[in-house]
Structure 1
Amino acid sequence: MRNFSLVLTIPTVMVAFAANSLLCKIALKGGHIDAVTFSNLRLISGALILLPFTFKSVLFKITKNTLLNSLYLMGYAVFFSIAYVKLDAGAGALILFGSVQLTMVLYGVRCGERMGTTRIIGVIVALLGLLILLLPGSKSPPVSSALLMLLSGICWAAYTIAGKKTLNPGLTTSQNFILAVPMALGISFFFSEDLHMDSVGVTLSILSGAAASAAAYVIWYSLLPNLDSVTASTLQLSVPCLAMLGGAFFLNESLDVRKMTSTLVVLIGILLVIRSKPATIN
């Protein structure tokens, strides 16, 4: 029953993660909102929807770990939105979760997770798929945007790693969102020249924050204790594939040979990793 639940829940969470990329890109591409305001509203709406978890608990405490985790969440959200100004939905998601995988694999190895030959090959293959997309050429993404998305991925990896130890996913996620809001608002002062929004941008931000982020992150945090770091990171590489399909359908983004090849290689890598069980689980 537990395995059946994971089979149903994990794809739902991955779809939500891909939806974040699409909602952000639709909002930014249409000029409905700027990147910083989008991330601010995303965090604010997420914090509001999660408030009941905090109200029902007397355990809300601001500690070094909660502040650090909130900083990871804020960094991920802000870098994510700014990077998407010049990135396609699928390409951005592939860079994001490629860096997530590399960070989490290194963390897992450091903590004693034994890879095994098949898993090592799977990780290498999946990262090779990412490199295919990033190779220099007319279709390669802008370097500055790619670097910002890499930073976003590192922040998300750190946030995910922290979630492996949580005992109360709802309360923990609520605290992270609530504390991330003032951090994100503080950064807005450095980008005050280009702040703008309309009703469509606000709606898309709220959908991203309340549904595709807050709700999905609670579920993700509840799943993480059952997943080793390598599997958790590699599963997330399915998100770019979903985002590319969504980008082609909703945003008329091209599915060129480079993107399709990159996606296929990544999927092969994921299959190799999830079919091979880890020797130890942290």
Structure 2
Amino acid sequence: MNAYLDPADANAITPSCALQGAVAVAAFASNALLCRVALFSHSIDAATFSDIRLLAGGATLLAVTKLSPGHARQSRPDWVSAIALGIFVSLFSLSYMSLGVSTGALVLFGTVQLTIFGACLLKGERFHRVALIGYLLATVGLLFLTVPGVGVPGFSGLLMMGAAGVAWGLYTLRGRRVASPLSATTGNFLRAAPICIVLGLILHGHAHASVAGVALAVVSGAVTSAIGFVVWGSAIRRLTAMSAAALQLLVPPVAALGGVLFLQEPVSARLVLSSVAVLAGIWLTASAGARHKDKGKAR
């Protein structure tokens, strides 16, 4: 994911970046599907899924780091990022006990983007009025989905997914300029694991797991989380933040399609309207920001 503080050498989307972005989008959408399938089938509890996901991801990244020629450049320990990652992974899994894949993905990625935009506003960054209108439209779309009413899924799940999005937004903002995405992600996964275990014990004490549930958690951690995060971390270092934002808009519809195809999840009118508002709002904000930046460069 992206932070809206563009490095000076950021470029437009190249074929290589587009390929990496596509891999990351597929990984992020798959994470939602794997978690929902595991919990929907009652093959594992949410806390245990989170713990195994982080441990498997950390072990995979550690092995990749050790096997890399000359080893990856070591990053300084960042406990704030590790705590944010642990909170994100824990609440992500817990929220999917009551949310569908499409709803969860929309709330998560919508909240992430709104968190990052909000952080930029608080830091004094100036946005075009169209970008601010888009920000407001996306906020209204999320509120339309999350305000309790007829057809709204478990409100506690929505709150947890929203909090997970804030945590992931913070993690993204802190990791935008890391020297080595592989080394930083490895360290964060390993440090976040005990944090996630403690949170799981506090928030969800009943543990159970079958072979199928463990396998799903391992795949989520070792493949769609670990590898997906590193690929995305590499891609965003060569993208403008707004280009990265545009790529991320693909995740909720891809996840929703997967939920319909593999889990037979219904698509409500409320979800469709909210999705249109959130995605259109974020697109307006991203495109307006990109145009504003291009005009600044032309002066």
Q: Determine if the TM-score, normalized by the shorter chain, exceeds 0.5.
A: yes
Structure 2 counterparts to residues 127-206 of structure 1, below 5 A: 127-190=139-202, 193-206=205-218
Deviation at 1:4, TM superposition (A): 2.6
Matched with 1:106 is: 118
RMSD: 2.4
Structure 2: distance between partners of 1:172 and 1:103: 22
Moved more, 80-89 or 7-16: 7-16
Structure 1: distance between partners of 2:262 and 2:72: 43
Matched with 1:36 is: 47
2:235 aligned with 1:223, yes or no? Answer: yes
- Specify the SS of the correspondent of 1:136: coil
Moved more, 117-126 or 45-54: 117-126
Structure 1: distance between partners of 2:158 and 2:22: 26
Matched with 2:59 is: 48
Structure 1: which 5+ runs fail to align?
Answer: none
Q: Which amino acid aligns with 2:108?
A: L
Matched with 2:20 is: 9
Structure 2 counterparts to residues 76-95 of structure 1, below 5 A: 76-95=88-107
Q: Which amino acid aligns with 1:48?
A: A
Deviation at 1:2, TM superposition (A): 5.5
Q: 2:268 aligns with which of 218, 242, 256?
A: 256
Q: Cα distance 1:190–1:242, how it changes in 2: closer, same or farther (>3 A)?
A: same
TM-score w.r.t. structure 2 length?
Answer: 0.84
Superposed CA deviations along residues 120-149 of structure 1, whole A, max 9, x for unmatched, are: 233333333322322332211222211111
Structure 2: distance between partners of 1:127 and 1:155: 17
Moved more, 135-144 or 165-174: 135-144
2:84 aligned with 1:72, yes or no? Answer: yes
Native 8 Å contact 2:246 2:283 kept in 1? no
Q: Which amino acid aligns with 1:28?
A: L
Deviation at 1:188, TM superposition (A): 3.8
TM-score w.r.t. structure 1 length?
Answer: 0.89
2:277 aligned with 1:265, yes or no? Answer: yes
Q: Cα distance 1:92–1:2, how it changes in 2: closer, same or farther (>3 A)?
A: closer
- Specify the SS of the correspondent of 1:255: coil
Superposed CA deviations along residues 179-203 of structure 1, whole A, max 9, x for unmatched, are: 1112222334336741001111111
Q: 1:24 aligns with which of 29, 35, 39?
A: 35
Structure 2: distance between partners of 1:220 and 1:240: 16
Q: Cα distance 1:280–1:135, how it changes in 2: closer, same or farther (>3 A)?
A: same
Matched with 1:96 is: 108
Number of corresponding residues: 279
Moved more, 243-252 or 71-80: 243-252
Moved more, 32-41 or 243-252: 243-252
Moved more, 243-252 or 73-82: 243-252
Structure 1: distance between partners of 2:213 and 2:258: 18
Deviation at 1:53, TM superposition (A): 4.8
Deviation at 1:67, TM superposition (A): 1.1
- Specify the SS of the correspondent of 1:194: coil
Structure 2: distance between partners of 1:72 and 1:227: 24
Q: Cα distance 1:264–1:228, how it changes in 2: closer, same or farther (>3 A)?
A: same
Q: 2:219 aligns with which of 192, 198, 207?
A: 207
Native 8 Å contact 1:161 1:229 kept in 2? no
Structure 2: distance between partners of 1:189 and 1:136: 28
Superposed CA deviations along residues 32-81 of structure 1, whole A, max 9, x for unmatched, are: 10000000010011001101354354864664xx1111111111000111
Native 8 Å contact 1:73 1:159 kept in 2? yes
Deviation at 1:231, TM superposition (A): 5.7
Native 8 Å contact 2:75 2:179 kept in 1? no
Structure 1: distance between partners of 2:198 and 2:95: 19
Matched with 2:133 is: 121
Report the identity percentage: 35
Deviation at 1:114, TM superposition (A): 3.0
